Structures are given as structure tokens and as C-alpha cells.
Copies of this chain bind each other. A is one copy, B any other.
Amino acid sequence: MRKIYFTPGPTELYPVVHEAIGEALAGHVCSINHRSSEFIDIYKHADKGLRELLGIPDGHRILFLSSATECMDRLVQNCVERNSQHFVNGSFAERFYRTSLELGRNAKAVKAEHGHGFEFESGYSFPEAEMICVTQNETSSGVAVPMERIYRLKQDNPDALLAIDIVTSAPYVKPDFSMVDAAFFSVQKGFGMPAGLGVLIANEKTAERAHKLKSKGVNIGSYHNLITLFEYADKFQNPETPNVLGIYLLGKVCGYLNEYGAEKMRTETEVKAAELYKAIENSPALKPLVRNPSDRSMTIVIADAGDRQKAVREELLKSGYVAGSGYGKFKDSEIRIANFPMHRVEDVNVISEILSSTT
């Protein structure tokens, strides 16, 4: 049976990924030496394509790790001696927060209820925070923090580093990197690739912080500390043999999207999201989990389906669409529908029809 994955990730592979894997196998990409000029060209190609796609300035390095979870770990270990400040409104923000606690840091959190945004109106001041960590697009709750709110945080707390989790919003989201010190994602979401590659975009200030911590005797880790990662990235290499195929595929996906038109992809994402939310609102049996439209993610659309959840997912599956269940304790009552660049408008039309006709 035909199956198309609209799951939050791992998700449907980008069609270009299928082709590119074939090219990689024919071109011995998985056999070349990771210190060779051939590998360096692959790294450069991915670096260039991602810079163009997300508007990443030269000062920010593009570092290849293994997962977004590892990015959280390394950012805290390298940039926080004592205090990190988190915004927690779901399981992945919670993971960032817990990572800091597990690493023995004094992590603090502003919390929001499931499906709700934060009270940004009065501003936030965190004089002690060395790093402010925001899950810009929370995959478990479908809440997105508007980028303007995040820039405001940076303006109000200029001495703290600002790190954002864009795991399920990239490449739709295009942050202003003059306001963001670090951002990270994994590739099995919006980039439609096989899992096993985390991408960390980090500026000089993060590396300076790592140097400072190291000089104070803080343990910043070994092979994947920011100092080492920066040194190798400046040679378009990794400390260890990385996921070469993943880096190759990332370059191909970025190249495809840049050629297709990044802004066109972004507009389409918004159009598809609007259609999905409207369909959920139109159904008498469903409601959008995120009530406030300005808090809604464009890429993770969540329907609170109550006891109709199983039936709706089965109905979608009859047409070949695999939608995600809710996360954690909402597993059986919510439906998470990903709206990534590889998800075609024709399929979103069919899904929306099924959703809106759910009674």
C-alpha cells in the first residue's frame, strides 16, 4: 500500500533524497576518505547551500553533530558554567532544560501549559543567565514562539547567549542570525532525510565562551567540544568520521530548495498550514490544540481529537497518510500532522478534506 508520512519526524523522505542516495552509491560517496578533497567539497557544498537557504552569515559556523539532543548537550557543556534559562512548554524544551540539570548546571525555567505560548508582553530579564534556551517550535505541543519575541529576549538580555531549537521549523524558519548565537536542528524533520545528523549553527561568541570555560578548568568535553568542532569546521572537516552520506544529502536538499525557491517554499508552508488549521476548525469533532492563532506552529499542526483520534488516524491511513499520534500523555487523544516542504499541497488538500468531514 502507498504510504506517505506526515509524521513530525522521522517523516517522509524528500523525493530528491531518493535520487541523491542513488548518486551517492554510484559515486562512492560512502567510501571516500573523510580528510580528502572530495569530502571537503561535499562539506563545502552543504555549508554553502544551507547558508543560502537560512541566510547564515560568515561568522556563524555550521557544525555537524549526530542529533539535536547532542546539540543541546554540547551547547550547555560549552557555554554555561552555572546558569541557564529555559522556556519550557513541551517535552523537547523540557529535554533542553533537563540536559542542563543533568550536566550539573543551575537551570531555571519559565513554564507554559500544554498548547499555550508564553506571556511575553511584559518582557523578561534574566541577569544571571549565561544562555537563554528557547524551543522556537515545540514538536510535542505545536506551539511556535514568534521570532520577534525571541529577538526581544536577546535585546533585553544582551549579555546572555541565545540558543534556539529549530528542529521542526527549519528550513521554513529563517532566523535573523545577528540576533541568534546558536540554532540547531536534525535532518529527519523538515529536510526529509534519514536520521543520524544534527546541525548546529553557532557564532564566535559560543566558541569564545567555550575557551573561557576551558581556561577556568570547566570540563567542556573532548572530541565534540565547540573549540575542536570550530577548528575542524574551518577546514570543512569533522573531528571524527562523520555521517558523510548525511552531509552529502543535506547539500542536495538545500540545493534543491534554493533552486525551487526558498521563499516560495515558505509561502506554500503557510498556505498549507492555514488549510490544515481551517479543516480542523471546521470539523465538529476536532479542535486545534493551540487556541491562539499567533502561537501556532506552521510546521507541526496538532488536532485535539479526543476519543475520535484513533478513528481519524485510521481514516487518513486508508488514503495512505500516516499522521503522528500525540506526544507522551496525549498519545491517544491528539493527532500531530507535519507540514514540511516535502509535503505536497495536493496531499494536504486530501488530508484537510478528511479532517474537516470528521464528525
Contact = CB atoms under 8 A, between A and B. Distances in A.
Interface stretch (A112-120, A175-183, A235-243, A266-274): A235-243
Interface stretch (A192-200, A287-295, A299-307): A192-200
Interface residues of A, number: 53
Interface stretch (A24-32, A50-58, A79-87, A152-160): A24-32
A239 B67 CA distance: 10
Contact of A30 (B98, B194, B224, B244): B194
A318 interface: no
A12 B31 contact: yes
A98 B239 CA distance: 13
Given A196-B243, A242-B196, A10 B33 contact: yes
A219 B67 contact: no
Most B Cβ at <10 Å: residue of A10, A67, A186: A10
8 contacts: A18-B25, A21-B21, A31-B322, A33-B324, A73-B223, A76-B222, A103-B222, A195-B245
Interface stretch (A1-9, A201-209, A251-259, A275-283): A1-9
A30 B243 contact: no
A266 to B, nearest CB: 23
A222 B99 CA distance: 6
Contacts of A7: 31, 33
Interface string A42-69: 0000000000000000000000001111
Contact of A243 (B18, B219, B243): B243
A332 interface: no
Contacts of A197: 196
A241 B18 contact: no
